[in-house]
Chains A and B, each alone.
Chain A
Amino acid sequence: MNTQIITALVLGLAGLFASPLCAQPDSQAGGLLDQAARNAGRVESVFARFAQERHLSLFQEPLRSEGYLCFQKPGRIRWEVTQPYQSILVSDGKGVAQFERANGQWKKLDLGLADAMQSVVSQIGAILEGRYAGRQGDYSVSATNTADGPVVTLTPRQPAMLKMMQAIEIYLAPDFRVTRRVVLREQDGDFTDIRFSEAMAEPPLPAGTFDRNQPADLEQIRQAVQPRQGGSNPASK
């Protein structure tokens, strides 16, 4: 497994998960990350919609996909693509599975690189649970304020990592409560742009959301997390 890619993915997704927890702005990047790490430990679950574009320098049009992200402690993650195809990558914290839908049927893959994928997911889970600050040594961190909100940029320190990844940019909402966007920039001009919307903290994710053998249907999850009129949560009763 390529550790540079793992680390890039981990930190990219770490920013994406941790930032909803940055309750207070901090002009110092180190302080901001410390606060993100502290707050990350308090979140039990996340549900958000994503739209991802993979920009390749030799193509004019990006590779687009969209779907939903679910996270729940300890280390449970589900990344479901709904367009232009249907696919689920899910970890229950102990192992990872992938499902593909074709001709109206879900099919579980005999997943290759499963250990490597689980390693990535485990690291993401660890970060989501508050062990984020320990990775700062691998990156130089800068934070700037823009008209649209603060932007935190992580730049790899190690030359080997720099060959793969130029920077990870985390775009936060002005109130620091929501991550709007994560951009993973590679050295050759390629980049991945992930935009999040409809993010919910502490959604009542139904049983089976992270089942590696028969994951719950997305529609069931969406109905479960849908806020009731008046703002109460169906599962918070």
Chain B
Amino acid sequence: MSRSPGQIIAAIGGPAAVALALVCAGGCISTSGPAAWRMAPASERDAAAYAAARQTVREAFPAVYQATQRAIITAGGRQFACDGILTASPAEGWHLALVSALGLVTEVRVGNDGAAEVLKVTPLFRQDWARDYVAQELRWLFTPPPELFAGRLGDGRLALAAVSGAGGARACYVCSADGSRWEELEVWDAQRRLFHAKVTGYRSFPGWPRAIPSEFELDAGAHQLQVRTVAMTAAASPAKEAP
């Protein structure tokens, strides 16, 4: 009797279920192309809006901060809650640890050059999942690349496109028509969509003058991720040196 991946995952249970769910996630990515990205080229008239959009995306977060996050991961129809602690600094890059009720899940770091490094591997989470999913999603959501090419979508909103120098992945950051709000992110690898994220929950935190997007609802096909920033301290001390 054949079973769907979800049934198999549900039947297995335990850490193996998490493992299998994430493996399936990797194999179930949409294969349609980024046709929705067709955009009119930037015009001189919109220069101010494009500049605002670039600032909105590139400077959404402080240069130096520590944030506490709450994440719900859905894979194979099952949900897993984790705490996240994220630090960012020009010297150290972005450093994220995920902790579940069963202990540390993983720790990853993304350098200023975009290079991802898995700092800790635990029995709960394989190294390649940390590298291929956690680090990638961290990189695109929290560390937009410096080169963003502007255009305007058919619905009037602004789009900033980026290409990853390392892997050739392409991203589209979608902002409101005036560039003041970052609303969506879509990332593609060749002709496959890696994930789409809704960006919402703008709120203020002590020590930072602008409201930041505190909620990301990410859909990667076979796995979904909801991330909320629940606390943030701007100008936090940078992370310690890795051993």
Measured CB to CB, the residues of A under 8 A from B are: 1-2, 5, 9, 54, 56-61, 63-65, 84-85, 87, 89, 98, 100, 102, 109-113, 115-117, 164, 188, 190
Q: Does B153 contact A (CB under 8 A)?
A: no
Inside 8 A of B141's CB, which chain A residues have their CB? none
Out of B87, B102, B124, B228, name the residue touching A85 (CB < 8 Å): B228
Contact status B78-A115, CB under 8 Å: no
| With A59-B97, A61-B236: A112-B85 Cβ-Cβ less than 8 Å | no
A110 close to B81 (CB less than 8 A): no
A112 to B9, CA, bound (A): 10
Please state if A112 and B70 are interface contacts (CB–CB under 8 Å): no
Complex: A111 Cα to B17 Cα, angstroms:
12
Which bucket holds chain B's interface residue count? 35 or more
- Chain A hits for B104, CB < 8 A: 56, 190
Inter-chain contact B97/A2, CB cutoff 8 Å = no
**Smallest CB–CB gap between B133 and chain A, Å?**
16
5 closest Cβ pairs, A-B complex: A112-B78, A109-B79, A84-B230, A84-B231, A85-B70
Q: Which of B79, B87, B243 sits near A110, CB closer than 8 Å?
A: B79
Residue pairs across A and B with Cβ atoms less than 8 A apart, 11 shown, are A1-B14, A2-B102, A56-B85, A59-B239, A59-B240, A63-B99, A87-B81, A102-B228, A110-B77, A112-B79, A113-B80
In contact, A59 and B79 (Cβ under 8 angstroms): no
Residues of B within 8 A of A (CB): 13-15, 17-18, 21, 66, 68, 70, 72, 74-81, 83, 85, 87, 95, 97, 99, 101-104, 107, 119-120, 123-124, 226, 228, 230-231, 233, 236-240, 242-243
Give the docked Cα–Cα distance between A116 and B13 (Å): 8
Alpha-carbon distance between A84 and B232 when the two chains are bound, in angstroms: 10
Asked if A84 contacts B68 (CB within 8 A), the reply is yes
Chain A nearest CB: distance from B43 CB in Å? 38
Do B102 and A5 touch across chains, with their CB atoms under 8 A apart? Answer: yes
CB atoms of B97 and A58 under 8 A apart: yes
The answer to whether A98 touches B68, judged by C-beta atoms less than 8 angstroms apart, is: no
**B70 to A111, Cβ gap below 8 A?**
no
Q: Is chain B's interface secondary structure helix, strand, loop, or mixed overall?
A: strand
Complex CA distance for A84 and B72, rounded to whole angstroms: 15
Extra 6 A-B pairs, beta carbons < 8 Å, given A1-B102, A59-B239, A113-B14: A2-B123, A64-B68, A98-B81, A111-B78, A112-B80, A116-B13
Establish whether residues A59 and B78, one from each chain, have CB atoms under 8 Å apart when the complex forms. no
CA distance A65 to B230 in the complex (A): 11
Chain B neighbourhood of A113, CB < 8 A: 13-15, 17-18, 78, 80, 102
Alpha-carbon gap, A5 to B100, bound state (A): 11
Alpha-carbon separation in the docked complex, A115 to B12 (Å) = 11
Residue of A nearest to B69 (CB): A85
**A109:B99 contact, CB within 8 angstroms:** no
Whether the Cβ atoms of A115 and B13 lie closer than 8 Å is yes
Are the CB atoms of B68 and A63 closer together than 8 Å?
A: yes
- Known A1-B14, A56-B107, A100-B81: A87·B87 in contact at CB below 8 Å: no
Measured CB to CB, the closest approach of chain A to B201, in angstroms, equals 8
Q: Do A87 and B99 touch across chains, with their CB atoms under 8 A apart? A: no
Other-chain contact of A100, B68, B72, B120 (Cβ < 8 Å): B72
Q: Which residues of A contact B72 (CB under 8 A)?
A: 100, 109
The answer to whether B13 touches A61, judged by C-beta atoms less than 8 angstroms apart, is: no
* List of A residues within 8 angstroms of B76 by Cβ: 112
A1 nearest in chain B by CB position:
B14
How many Å from the CB of B24 to the closest CB on chain A?
A: 14
